[in-house]
A and B are shown apart, each in its own frame.
Chain A
Amino acid sequence: MVEWTDFERATIQGIFDKMEYEVVGPAALCRCLVVYPWTQRYFGNFGNLYNAAAILANPLVAKHGTTILHGLDRALKNMDNIKATYAELSVLHSEKLHVDPDNFKLLSDCLTVVIAAKMGADFTPDVQAAFQKFLSVVVSALGRQYH
């Protein structure tokens, strides 16, 4: 089981309390599709992903980005059992969506950069460490049901 310090719990909760899901979610997914273009392979039916401008303007990408970010709420509400919380989603990503689990880390890195840009100096090294620890636990849980 993952051990969380009071600082880590408070920091992560704090970030999500102030989260603008409809801004950050789309921004993170768009960034991932632009910075790591091979991730576009999973979004063949999303329409125009031809260039950065098209991706940023794409409503399906925006909607999906928001959905993904809300997916993190599950971990937030179950920080002491993130592994079990994502078992079902892990199976979905493996068996149905066939997503290479290495991509989860890419998206989590992009989300970190987006949060950093929003928070500026408030995103201190310790805040970053807590946030990245949280994301790495989620990423690991999502990759667990792959066989």
Chain B
Amino acid sequence: MLSKKEKELIAEICGKLTPVAEDIGSDALLRMFATFPGTKTYFSHLDISPRSPHLLSHGKKIVLAIAEGAKDISQLAVSLGPLQTFHAYQLRIVPTNFKILSHCMLVTIACHMGDDFTPVAHAAMDKYLSAFAAVLAEKYR
């Protein structure tokens, strides 16, 4: 359950991330690959070395999707429809990995925002990313 204040915090943070979506997204992915090497298995077809075009564009895509969803959180199930289908039938990424990437996103945001990433802001983003991940996994079965 997200309060009005939390939705505002989330929108504010996502607003800060959008202009640097490429950097945030690729950073989060790199952290994930370094700390949880099993996640690399989903990227055997791409070049995921630091600053590679694949990594930058992929990171950007992910962050922009997350930021877009934050504009109207109550409509996530609608706005994520196509991505739900894609993840369920084509990508088939084990959903536990969503949690791992969410954690790495929070770490990236902390590195980026320092002390401005307060406990309350952290809680709000964690809740949003959990909700996002849950909706994304809805069509799996």
Residues of A within 8 A of B (CB): 30-31, 34-35, 52, 55-56, 109-110, 112-114, 116-121, 123, 125-126, 128-129, 132-133
CA distance A62 to B11 in the complex (A): 31
Query: Are B111 and A112 touching (Cβ within 8 A)?
Result: no
Write out the residue numbers on chain A whose beta carbons fall within 8 Å of the beta carbon of B74: none
Kindly state the separation between the CA atoms of A8 and B111 in the bound complex, as whole angstroms: 20
Pairwise interchain contact B111-A117, C-beta atoms closer than 8 A: yes
Cα separation A123 to B108 with both chains bound (whole Å):
9
Using A125-B35, A129-B34 as known contacts, say yes or no to A31 and B122 having CB atoms under 8 A apart: yes
CB distance from B36 to the nearest CB of A (A): 9
Q: A52-B118, A113-B107, A125-B27 are in contact. List 9 more A-B contacts (CB 8 A).
A: A30-B119, A35-B119, A112-B107, A116-B108, A117-B113, A120-B112, A121-B111, A123-B111, A129-B34
A125 and B111 form a contact (CB under 8 A): no
Residue on B nearest A31 in the bound complex, by CB: B119
Tell whether, in the assembled complex, residue A113 and residue B110 are in contact, meaning their CB atoms are under 8 Å apart. Answer: yes
Distance in Å: Cβ of B20 to nearest Cβ of chain A: 13
A35 to B117, CA, bound (A): 12
Within 8 A of A (CB), among B90-141: 103, 106-108, 110-115, 117-120, 122-123, 126
Known: A117-B110, A128-B31. A52 touches B115 (CB 8 A): no
Select from chain B the residue with minimum beta-carbon distance to A112: B107
A35-B111 in contact (CB<8A): no
Which residues in B have some Cβ–Cβ distance to A below 8 Å?
27, 30-31, 33-35, 103, 106-108, 110-115, 117-120, 122-123, 126
From A109, A121, A125, contact of B31 by CB (8 A): A125
Determine the distance from Cα of A113 to Cα of B34 in the docked complex, in whole angstroms: 16
Contact A116 B110 (CB under 8 A): yes
Q: List 25 A-B contacts (CB under 8 A).
A: A30-B119, A31-B119, A35-B119, A35-B122, A52-B119, A52-B120, A55-B119, A112-B107, A113-B107, A113-B110, A113-B122, A116-B110, A117-B113, A120-B111, A123-B107, A123-B111, A125-B27, A125-B30, A125-B33, A125-B34, A125-B35, A128-B35, A128-B107, A129-B35, A133-B35
